[in-house]
Amino acid sequence: MSDPKLGGLLHMISKLKCDRSLLVNFLGNQLDLDDKLDFLDHVRECKKCWGEIYAARKNEHPHYYKANKRQVKVSQKELDHLTGVPRPENNEEEQVLA
């Protein structure tokens, strides 16, 4: 069993490691592997740092975060042609599922 005091202590240490310079170096990909892993472990517990990383990446790549309101209708036949993998007929699906 884990000690609840130890979990609280680890959580407190994680909160204390909230360092702006680490955040900046992480975003600039300037941390060595050990520091990056330590920082990512911290980010897993720290909502503030996670939010700042999210906001920075969103500002850096806004095109990934745009909502696409256009929907394109593609028939199953067109989809099969594009992917090169034909979809099985209904009776073939029933045989596989049975």
Q: Is the pLDDT of residue 6 over 90?
A: no
Residue 31 pLDDT exceeds 90: yes
Give, in order, the Cα–Cα distances in Å from 68 to each of 2, 15, 63: 46, 37, 10
Model's pTM, two decimal places? 0.51
Res. 98 pLDDT band, cuts 50 70 90: very low
Q: What sign does the dihedral 67-68-71-72 (CA atoms) show? A: negative
- The reported pLDDT for the residue numbered 48 is 92
Please determine, for residue 81, whether its predicted confidence score (pLDDT) is greater than 80: yes
| Strands of the chain, DSSP E | none
pLDDT tens profile 33-43 = 999 999 999 99
Domain count, the chain: 1
Q: 17: closest CA among 5, 7, 9?
A: 9
Boundaries of domain holding 81: 4-97
Distance CA 98, CA 95 (A): 5
